[in-house]
Structure 1
Amino acid sequence: MLEQYKTIMEGGTGEITEKKSRFIATVRPVSTEEEALAFLEEMKKKYWDARHNCYAYSIGLNREFTRCSDDGEPSGTAGRPMLDVLLGEEIYNVAVVVTRYFGGVLLGTGGLVRAYSKAVQEGLAGSRVIEKKRGITLKVTTDYTGIGKIQYIAGERNVPVVDSEYTDKVILKLLVESGAAEELQKAITEGTNGRAAIEKESELYFAVLEGKVYTFEN
């Protein structure tokens, strides 16, 4: 299991023009090969009048499903360069289709490789790329005298407080990176002189985007 990895939060598009040929890249987050193939069919229908709809995708944290296609372009000039961009950026669970409208001027092998690669880069630039980190939710129960110290410790380490409950006691749910969980628990125990009860609740992936915390099963 990866401790952290990049993926697509929200797909986007990008477009370039090379010698009158239009290259339109559409990026989509996918979690299964079926989703990737359905996305490809969707793009083929949308751009039914285009000369080529080349694609690349990589699915699974071990890249179990990684495929690409030149869709009629000279072998190795489209699909593989597109896939190389995804792999080079270390992005997982992503599919991209680059649609080409031929402009009447041949680009040559090198020109095609550069154009398809650049189109994918533009598509990624138009998408929301996030970094998911493996984390643990900790349920921390304390009395009111300990809450200030716990909030200080969490804030000092940029650990999000994802939920809180105030009754006769205080329950805080903290979301911490897996590798930092043990040190955080030790700091809270020492900071509250052992008055805080700490319970591990669940393991999950999370990402922080524009100050907001998102959680994921994988």
Structure 2
Amino acid sequence: MPQSYLTVASPVDVEIEVRRSRFLARLERVEDEAAARAVVEAARRAHWDARHHCSAFVLGPDAMTERSSDDGEPAGTAGAPMLEVLRGRGLSDVVCVVTRWFGGTLLGTGGLIRAYGDSVRAACDAAQVLERRLAQRFSLEVDHADAGRVEAALRSRGVHVDGTDYAARATLRLDAEPQERDELAALVAELTGGAGVLVDGPTHYRTHPR
């Protein structure tokens, strides 16, 4: 499982013009293939008057799922160069759909490849890129009287505290990188006089701005 990967914060739309043909690129973060295809279909509905809605998407922390479509353009002139740009930027969990309105002048194979690639590059340049890092969730039970002090001390040491649940005792929800577990356990022992014990939870990816 990769330690981190890159994605985008929010959808962006960028338009370029090449020899009177308009290329509108929409780049959006998605969770799965169904969501990626839904973005493509939404562009198709919104811009029904356009001739082509070419697309590419990359999914998963390890970029295991990749798809692209030329949507009627000559084979290899749209989807493949779009996908190549996403790969080159190291982005995953993203879909890009480029809608083209034909301007009356044929661009040729090389012109199409450049235009579709440039459209995706422009969208990537406009997007805010985020890093998602592998983290592990831990829980820590403490007495109610100690919860505020322990939480403040953990935060001051740079530990991410996702929140605290209050029941018979207070349970702090902590996130740390898996390789930091021993260091976190030692810190917890120091702050609780050895009474606090970390309970391991599942791994997940947390988002960090770049």
Into which bin does the TM-score normalised by the smaller protein fall?
0.7 to 0.9
Name structure 2 gaps, 5 residues minimum: none
Matched, 1:30 2:5: no
Structure 1 residue ranges, 4+ long, deviating more than 6 angstroms after superposition? 166-169
Alignment size in residue pairs: 209
* Seq. identity, %: 35
CA deviation digits over 1:141-179, x for unaligned, max 9? 3465796566445433x3221113579975432211222
Structure 1 residue 9: Cα displacement:
4.0
**Hey, which of these two has a bigger chunk of helix by percent?**
2
CA distance, structure 2, for counterparts of residue 33 and residue 153 of structure 1: 38
- Counterpart position of 1:164: 164
- What residue identity is the alignment partner of 2:118? K
CA distance, structure 1, for counterparts of residue 11 and residue 3 of structure 2: 23
CA distance, structure 2, for counterparts of residue 18 and residue 103 of structure 1: 8
- What residue identity is the alignment partner of 2:156? G
CA distance, structure 2, for counterparts of residue 28 and residue 146 of structure 1: 40
Q: Is the CA contact 1:14–1:125 (under 8 Å) kept in the aligned structure 2?
A: no
Matched, 1:155 2:140: no
Structure 1 residue 114: Cα displacement:
2.4
Q: Which moved more, 1:105-114 or 1:162-171?
A: 162-171
Structure 1 residue 81: Cα displacement:
0.9
Give SS of 2:31's match: coil
- Counterpart position of 1:76: 76
- What residue identity is the alignment partner of 2:37? L
RMSD between aligned alpha carbons? 2.9
Structure 1 residues 147, 44: CA separation in 2 closer, same or farther (over 3 Å shift)? closer
Matched, 1:94 2:91: no
Q: Is the CA contact 1:23–1:119 (under 8 Å) kept in the aligned structure 2?
A: yes
Structure 1 residues 145, 98: CA separation in 2 closer, same or farther (over 3 Å shift)? closer
- Counterpart position of 1:121: 121
Q: Which moved more, 1:79-88 or 1:22-31?
A: 22-31
Matched, 1:188 2:188: yes
Give SS of 2:99's match: strand
Structure 1 residues 165, 54: CA separation in 2 closer, same or farther (over 3 Å shift)? closer
